[in-house]
């Protein structure tokens, strides 16, 4: 019996060694699917990554020097006496402790003429003109525990950087740098080596997403009618005609003399009415969202359109027009896409390109105090499948790129926009057309979202009129909810 047990133990040990050798072989030479993200740790991809959150240290003392004196009297039976000076003190009479506010009698020079002052009450060392107590907290690197240095002050955020040359994060990234680049004068600047954190100075979650544009026309028509307005919508949005071509088409086909300026006012009014219905519609949502941004021209300057679509229904869930490519418009677009969601379903994926605004926006959603949303960004980097992530999720990226091309086909005839108001209402009308009116080949040439009320009209101008009615009903509903709230 003992020999059988001994033989089994020897066999188990042999099998364990074989398993260890096979595991080591697989780890070295066979890239498993679950390790798809490991190749993105290369310094080549570091510039696309967003670092983890820093350690936030709260150091603001809630005690002043008088409260501390009362505590010492209760705890030890005596208060802290003033400093005994052996020679005259050159500390100004009106100088107080930067931490607890103790007056000059409790302060003394801690290191002679070098300038450091120590408070006897709170036992704090500080220097004149010290500004570290002006904040309620300071940020520390999560890798080396050094205080981060503010290196850049941008429009909406401050860039904090760990400048410690002995930081493990910096040293590990430095090992992966090409040795030839280290010999160059600014070779290291090609890589992101230091830990970086962006502290936002504005809250994009308090901005109103339902604000309506100013200077819109009324739906009370003096000379024309709602039918002519919806004809203009059909020509401009559905058929992609410019404002002047729409005016010409109405004149040539129907004998209606209407200027392109009046048509622009009609479109702005229609966008104002329809937008609440489009934004608050209960879309069918899947587990995968896809996001991208594209360029437009506004007054010959570069503007941006942000789009987030559902990968299954192909509906546009979030959209935004901005004059910058920062994280602010990205957060606003995500807020539109996540509207009404208190939590994300299991297995949720958010796919975007390698732009760093998406991970930063995801980080801000996780930091929210009310209704935080935790999700990771799957980034498809570059135009070729150089890593396993891009190879697996490239079809989703191509899906949103086709959406961009569809939008550009309708935008190109206008040769850009005159102002951001025009860009906003044009994009809003196009999203309404894309989600509710446009026949899609992927959906058997039917609209993506079937609205029963829209089926009452057989013509496109009639469907636009019904959309205007649905938009008015949604505005009244939102106003009633706001009055109750």
Q: Strand, coil or helix: what is 178?
A: coil
Indicate if 466 and 418 belong to the same structural domain: yes
Indicate if 298 and 172 belong to the same structural domain: no
Indicate if 164 and 83 belong to the same structural domain: no
pLDDT of the residue at 199? 85
pLDDT of the residue at 40? 47
pLDDT of the residue at 28? 64
Q: Helix axis angle, 243-254 relative to 260-279, nearest 10°?
A: 110
- Which helix (H) or strand (E) covers residue 349, if one does? strand 349-353
Identify whether 166 is part of a domain: yes
- The encoded tokens of residue 74 equal 């209760």
Are the beta carbons of 105 and 85 closer than 8 angstroms? no
Indicate if 296 and 379 belong to the same structural domain: yes
> If you ran DSSP here, which 8-state letter would residue 149 be given?
E
Indicate if 187 and 319 belong to the same structural domain: no
Residue span of the structural domain in which 369 resides: 272-484
Quick one: how far is CA 461 from the chain centroid?
A: 37
The predicted model gives 383-409 an average pLDDT of 87
Indicate if 88 and 149 belong to the same structural domain: no
d(CA 291, CA 431): 15
Alpha helix ranges (H) inside 30-158: 43-46, 65-76
The predicted model gives 228-253 an average pLDDT of 90
Q: Residue 483: pLDDT band by 50, 70, 90 thresholds? A: confident
The predicted model gives 313-328 an average pLDDT of 90
pLDDT, tens digit, for every residue of 159-179? 899 999 999 998 988 888 777
pLDDT of the residue at 37? 43
The predicted model gives 425-447 an average pLDDT of 91
In degrees rounded to 5, what are phi and psi of residue 206? -100, -5
The predicted model gives 366-394 an average pLDDT of 84
Indicate if 429 and 466 belong to the same structural domain: yes
Q: Residue 439: pLDDT band by 50, 70, 90 thresholds? A: very high
Indicate if 102 and 178 belong to the same structural domain: no
d(CA 79, CA 101): 16
Give how many domains the chain has, as a whole number. Answer: 3
Of 334, 338, 288, residue with least CA distance to 311: 288
d(CA 204, CA 121): 42
Indicate if 196 and 50 belong to the same structural domain: yes
What is the average pLDDT value for the chain, to the nearest integer? Answer: 83
Indicate if 477 and 358 belong to the same structural domain: yes
pLDDT, tens digit, for every residue of 308-319? 999 999 999 999
């Amino acid at each position: 019996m003992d020999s059988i047990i001994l033989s089994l133990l020897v066999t188990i040990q042999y099998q364990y060694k074989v398993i260890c050798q096979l595991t080591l072989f697989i780890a070295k030479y066979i890239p498993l699917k679950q390790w798809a993200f490991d190749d993105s740790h290369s310094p080549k991809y570091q510039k696309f990554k967003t670092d983890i959150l820093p350690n936030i240290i709260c150091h603001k003392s809630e005690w002043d020097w008088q409260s501390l004196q009362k505590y010492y009297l209760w705890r030890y039976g005596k208060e802290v006496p003033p400093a005994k000076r052996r020679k005259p003190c050159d500390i100004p009479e009106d100088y107080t402790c930067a931490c607890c506010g103790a007056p000059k009698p409790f302060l003394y020079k801690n290191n002679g003429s070098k300038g450091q002052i120590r408070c006897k009450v709170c036992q704090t060392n500080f220097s004149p003109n010290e500004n570290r107590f002006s904040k309620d907290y300071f940020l520390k690197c999560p890798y080396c525990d050094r205080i981060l240095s503010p290196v850049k002050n941008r429009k909406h955020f401050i860039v904090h950087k760990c400048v410690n040359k002995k930081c493990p994060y910096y040293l590990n990234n430095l090992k992966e740098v090409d040795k030839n680049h280290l010999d160059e004068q600014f070779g290291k600047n090609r890589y992101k080596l230091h830990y970086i954190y962006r502290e936002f100075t504005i809250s994009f979650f308090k901005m109103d997403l339902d604000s309506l544009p100013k200077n819109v026309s009324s739906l009370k028509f003096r000379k024309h009618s709602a039918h002519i307005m919806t004809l203009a919508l059909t020509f401009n949005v559905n058929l992609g005609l410019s404002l002047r071509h729409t005016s010409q088409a109405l004149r040539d086909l129907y004998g209606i003399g209407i200027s392109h300026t009046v048509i622009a006012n009609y479109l702005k009014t229609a966008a104002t009415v329809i937008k609440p219905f489009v934004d608050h519609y209960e879309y069918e949502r899947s587990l995968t969202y896809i996001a991208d941004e594209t360029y437009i021209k506004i007054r010959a300057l570069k503007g941006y359109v942000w789009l987030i679509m559902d990968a299954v229904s192909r509906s546009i869930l979030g959209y935004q027009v901005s004059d910058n490519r920062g994280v602010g418009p990205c957060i606003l677009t995500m807020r539109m896409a996540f509207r009404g969601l208190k939590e994300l379903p299991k297995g949720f994926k958010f796919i975007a390109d390698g732009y760093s605004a998406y991970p930063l926006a995801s980080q801000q959603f996780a930091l929210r105090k009310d209704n935080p949303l935790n999700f990771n960004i799957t980034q498809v980097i570059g135009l070729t499948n150089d890593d396993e992530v891009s190879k697996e999720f490239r079809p989703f990226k191509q899906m949103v790129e086709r959406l961009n091309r569809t939008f550009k086909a309708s935008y190109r005839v206008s040769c850009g926009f005159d102002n951001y108001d025009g860009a906003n209402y044009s994009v809003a009308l196009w999203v309404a057309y894309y989600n509710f009116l446009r026949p899609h080949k992927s959906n058997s040439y039917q609209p993506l979202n079937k609205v029963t009320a829209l089926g009452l009209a057989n013509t496109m101008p009639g469907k636009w009129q019904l959309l205007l009615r649905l938009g008015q009903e949604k505005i009244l509903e939102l106003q009633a909810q706001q009055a109750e709230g």
